[in-house]
Chains A and B, each alone.
Chain A
Amino acid sequence: MSLKSYSRQRAIHVMLVYTGGCNGCDIEIVNAVLSPKIDIEQYKVFLTWNPREADVLVVTGPVTYHNKEPLLKIYNDIPDPKLVIAAGSCALMGGVYKNIYGDIPSEEIEGPVENIIPVDAKVPGCAVRPQDILAGLISVLPNLLNSD
């Protein structure tokens, strides 16, 4: 393990991007990282709002038309190596919003997230449980730590 990975595993920075869901997943994720009950921070996972500091990008929501550009921009700003976690059923498959106009292709919803950026881990649930976020994060961490 390189020195870089050695230090990175003691400070995993998670960035949360919200792309137009119902707000439920976001509160649960912030809750999971910050709040004293589940408190992922004790495992050295921190929440950041700066893409240049982040290692892991957590995306929630079916990506709406206006949110596609910002999402791509944020993804490109994160330095390599990086991981993407899609959290919640909207991010996985568009949720209830995907089929908005029936058979006619939707102009509002660009999602699921997979269509726009590569996804490493998928966390299901509507809304996601805080424990699942932690499990999803841990399942892909080796990819991040062994990448260099």
Chain B
Amino acid sequence: MIEEKIPNPNGELIETEISMGTVHPAALEPYRVRFFVEDEIIQEAEITIGVNHRGVERIMEGLPVEKANALTEKICGICSNSHTWNSVLTAEKGLNIDIPERANYIRVIMGELERLHSHLLYLAHGCEVLGHETFSMRIFYIRETVMDLLHMIGGNRVQYGVSIIGGVRPRCELNEMRIQKVESGLDELEKNIVNFSERFTSDPIVNSRIEGVGYLPPKQARKLAVTGPSLRACGFNYDLRTEMPQYDDFDFNIISLDTCDVKANLLMRVLESFESIKIIRQAIKNLPKGPIADRNWEMFDCDFIKSYIEVPRGICYHSFALEDGRVRGSVIRTPSMANIAAMQYAAIGNHITDGQLCIVQCDPCFTCTDRAFEIIEL
């Protein structure tokens, strides 16, 4: 690692450096963060990743496209289904495959269940970093309901990707019993989240910890190309789900809050959970009948295909070309890539004890972000 002091705006060097990592208790994932501190106020923050680079794109190169789709699941353990979904969408876009309505509905249900589990995990992690273990435990308890539903439909608790080219896996068919279980699970979940949010927002100690901390100015958020809930917590009313054809049939609101701090980020996730529950309820109510996979498609070569979808943390990008049924030149861009800059910026000006909180507020997932990239000097 390059060790160098960073000058403050007056041109003097900041002497005190507090660095963590790469293996550190407060962060589950290995990354390195350096806080430059004056009078216990963070003047500059720097996050370095690259410790867990594994090169999924390199492994995908030359694999049959079906295998490559299954591999994208292993990019991230939190949004595993979204990566599979986007990779499959990319291939379907190139091969002009129309999937059955029912398959699309099941994909949306899984996508929203995944959003619920990711948002609840964020809340639990956030509360743990805040030092409020009771809330953290409570949310882990609530989250088990979602994990059970995912386990029931996908067959696994973590790697449960449902999409295959042309539809969804036969295992993920939703029969009457499963629909009933999802419905009762959602009722329980909604009740629990309502109770939690009432308790959370009326807690004066927690509120004093999170109000006004980690302020990210909207102008800066736009400049750094922040995506997902972190962008919406800065007052921008933008959600890619409104432009995705997969979500055409569903009616939901885009939540945006304009206080730009940790509180907005935490509340954002709670409010988005209700929207997800709403979407799943609509999908279950109007679930079309018919097959869940269309197997009559032909493979042909196609040039680079791009696909963007909204995953729990923001906008995920997949791109590859197909040649003899094999993947060429795969490029994956995960939402945390853009949000890292926001984490660094949000930490500046806060007390050193809130430094970790400012990093966590942007929902970091350094595991999926660790990709090889080339810096070209112009």
Residues of A within 8 A of B (CB): 16-28, 30-31, 34-37, 49-50, 61-62, 64, 66-67, 70, 74, 95-97, 99-101, 108-109, 126-127, 129
Contacts and interface: CB of A to CB of B under 8 A. Distances in A.
Contacts of A30: 28
Contacts of A62: 54
A52 to B, nearest CB: 12
Given A35-B143, A36-B140, A66-B50, 17 more contacts: A17-B23, A18-B23, A18-B29, A20-B54, A22-B77, A25-B158, A28-B158, A36-B141, A64-B54, A66-B52, A67-B52, A70-B22, A70-B23, A101-B58, A126-B158, A127-B157, A127-B158
Given A22-B77, A34-B137, A64 B158 contact: no
B25 interface: yes
Contacts of B52: 19-21, 61, 64, 66-67
B110 to A, nearest CB: 16
A80 B158 CA distance: 34
Contact of A37 (B30, B56, B71, B144): B144
B25 A108 contact: no
B185 interface: no
A99 to B, nearest CB: 8
21 contacts: A18-B29, A20-B52, A20-B54, A22-B80, A23-B365, A30-B28, A35-B137, A36-B140, A37-B141, A64-B51, A64-B53, A66-B53, A70-B23, A70-B30, A96-B59, A96-B71, A97-B74, A99-B59, A127-B156, A127-B158, A129-B157
B172 interface: no
Nearest to B59: A100
Interface centre among A20, A49, A61, A101 (most CB of B within 10 A): A20
Given A23-B77, A27-B78, A109 B137 contact: no
Contact of A109 (B29, B54, B56, B367): B54
Nearest to B143: A35
B159 A35 contact: no
A124 to B, nearest CB: 13
Interface in B135-179: 136-137, 140-141, 143-144, 156-159
B54 A97 contact: yes
A68 to B, nearest CB: 11
A49 B74 contact: no
A108 B53 contact: yes
A1 B187 CA distance: 51
Interface in B66-89: 71, 74-78, 80
A62 B77 CA distance: 14
B55 interface: yes
Contacts of A67: 22-23, 30, 51-52
Nearest to A128: B158
Contacts, number: 118
B121 interface: yes
B192 to A, nearest CB: 12
A32 to B, nearest CB: 10
A20 B76 CA distance: 11
Contacts of B22: 66-67, 70
Nearest to A17: B23
A26 B141 contact: no
A30 B137 CA distance: 11
A19 B121 CA distance: 21
Nearest to B22: A70
Contact of A21 (B59, B77, B144, B365): B77
A20 B28 contact: no
A34 B140 contact: yes
A37 B148 CA distance: 11
Interface in B14-70: 22-23, 25-26, 28-30, 50-56, 58-59
A97 B158 contact: no
B119 to A, nearest CB: 14
A27 B144 contact: no
B330 to A, nearest CB: 14
Contact of A126 (B50, B56, B159): B159
Contact of B25 (A23, A50, A109): A50
Nearest to A130: B157
B35 to A, nearest CB: 19
A20 B30 contact: yes
A37 B124 CA distance: 14
Contact of A22 (B25, B26, B28, B76): B76
Given A34-B137, A64-B54, A23 B157 contact: no
Contacts of A74: 23
